[in-house]
Structure 1
Amino acid sequence: MGQTIVNSEAWTVLLGGGALRAEDLRAVRERTLHLVAADGGGDVALRHGVIPDAVIGDFDSLSDLARSEIPADRLHHIPEQDSTDFEKCLTRIDAPMILGLGFTGARIDHELAVYHVLTKYPSKRCVIVGEEDVCAHVAGDIEFDVELGSRVSLFPMGAVTGRSEGLRWPIDGIEFAPDLRVGTSNEATASRVRVSFDGPGMLLILPKDSLWSLVDGLLR
């Protein structure tokens, strides 16, 4: 990991340059203290009237205008090319919860790289907020509240097994792997669902209206 740039006891927004709904940014900012931008996410922040507390990245997509409008001491240039801007940020933010917006809906390779990084750093609590869904890496147990019938999807980034309570199709004993078995569109049969896994590697994907329940489950 790189040297910590943002150290906070408060939740932090991490903003990318992908698809973003203004109402989503407003909603998460009501519960967070800091906003960090990943490279070109600095331009996105300015378009939404926000000056980020820090911009971290290789700056290949940050505009000259953004560089002139954001204070120089908030610009953290990390030139190495062995990691993505998302990884550069995630490894330099120390916060109890990171809410990532603007990392879906644009380039597929960039979005896939985000999910790779989530599983690479299982100690980081981070939820990716998309246009329709929210996604987090789960390495262990999690309980979360959902509406009956809500979609609960599981996508493995590696070989992993688990157990479940409150799902229409229990996952107990199933061997998951990207090239073997995935858990798309399972369904909640209880208001509280519990899943647990024998190690890192599983992405949990829920409808966006379950965001705060997912956050609570990760922090519990």
Structure 2
Amino acid sequence: MSIDVCFIFGAGEYYGGEPQIPAEAYVIAADGGIDHAESFGVVPDAVIGDFDSAADDFAEYSRYPNVMRLPSEKDDTDMFAAVKLGWSKGVRRFHILGGLGGRLDHTLANMQMLAQISRHGGIGFLHGDGTVATAVTDATLSFPAWGPEPGDGRMISVFAHSDVARHVSIRGLKYEVDDATLRNTRALGVSNEFRDGDAASVSVGDGTLAVVYPAAAPTPQWRTDRPEEGPDALGVINTHVSSLLATRDRPADGGSDER
């Protein structure tokens, strides 16, 4: 049976509230995300990471049937390793919890990860403090109409993630454009607004957009013109120390370095 959606628990901020995980979802805990999953009573299908941010010793996770320990000096983050694992299972839609807020470098890494997913024909959503972030490549996000929200609860921002995003159209929002070009050096699409009772859409014909919208908004429909790529499209999971580090640490005589 194919798996339609994957939920990944990360080690970042959760901002209260209990995540709603569909029964058919494939659930992965990335490193310290296992502590959050356990706090919600969620039993993950897989646990992966170098476990530098988990509360317990790695041996404590032996009770889970599918655990993969990774080296700390690797090329991918634990979160991206979790995405690669889900992708290898056939998943193309990812919901990532604990991936926004906290360390800025991890947030930026996760945004780049969303772009990577989208460029291979999938989509990922980062859930944060009343906010959802996603990235789309050659694709359309369509939001159903919804009612009024107080304060800033109706803000949506659209940015070029690729150097240039062409054929961008934004419809049903306060500010609309048709067949525009956005560049990643200017935040032209920040702080747009949903209109009460109007369906809305954001599309890009050539390039990648980052889209940030309120968690209160209805779940958007996603359609992409990019072909869905195979199980190895994102690459294999890094299970060894980075080759860059191995090159740096290799002895000058080319022999083995037993330490």
Confirm or deny a common fold (TM above 0.5).
yes
- Name the SS of the counterpart of 2:34 in structure 1: helix
Q: Which residue of 1 aligns with 2:213?
A: 206
- Change in 2 beyond 3 A, CA 1:109/1:207: same
Q: Which residue of 2 aligns with 1:156?
A: 160
Q: 1:50 Cα deviation (Å)?
A: 2.5
* Structure 2: 5+ residue stretches without partners: 149-153, 225-259
- Change in 2 beyond 3 A, CA 1:14/1:191: same
Q: Which residue of 2 aligns with 1:16?
A: 10
* Structure 1: 5+ residue stretches without partners: 1-6
1:60 matched to 2:52: yes
- What code does the residue aligned with 2:140 have? D
User: Could you give the per-residue CA deviations for residues 51-86 of structure 1, whole angstroms, max 9, x where no partner exists?
Assistant: 321112233223434641452532112326111112
Task: Tell me if structure 1 keeps the 8 A contact 2:61–2:67.
Answer: no
1:136 matched to 2:138: no
User: Could you give the per-residue CA deviations for residues 131-186 of structure 1, whole angstroms, max 9, x where no partner exists?
Assistant: 11111111212211143663221122122130122122123343322212331111
- Name the SS of the counterpart of 1:90 in structure 2: helix
CA distance, structure 2, for counterparts of residue 58 and residue 65 of structure 1: 11
CA distance, structure 2, for counterparts of residue 135 and residue 156 of structure 1: 13
Task: Tell me if structure 1 keeps the 8 A contact 2:49–2:69.
Answer: yes
Task: Tell me if structure 1 keeps the 8 A contact 2:140–2:223.
Answer: no
Q: Whose Rg is larger? A: 2
- Change in 2 beyond 3 A, CA 1:182/1:76: farther
Q: Which residue of 2 aligns with 1:218?
A: 222
Matched ranges for 1:66-81 at <5 A: 67-71=59-63, 73-79=65-71, 81=74
Matched ranges for 1:89-104 at <5 A: 89-93=82-86, 94-104=90-100
CA distance, structure 1, for counterparts of residue 51 and residue 204 of structure 2: 37
- What code does the residue aligned with 1:113 have? A
TM-score, length basis structure 1: 0.83
**Sequence identity (%):** 25
Q: 1:201 Cα deviation (Å)?
A: 1.8
CA distance, structure 2, for counterparts of residue 15 and residue 85 of structure 1: 11
CA distance, structure 1, for counterparts of residue 27 and residue 43 of structure 2: 8
- Change in 2 beyond 3 A, CA 1:180/1:102: same
TM-score, length basis structure 2: 0.71
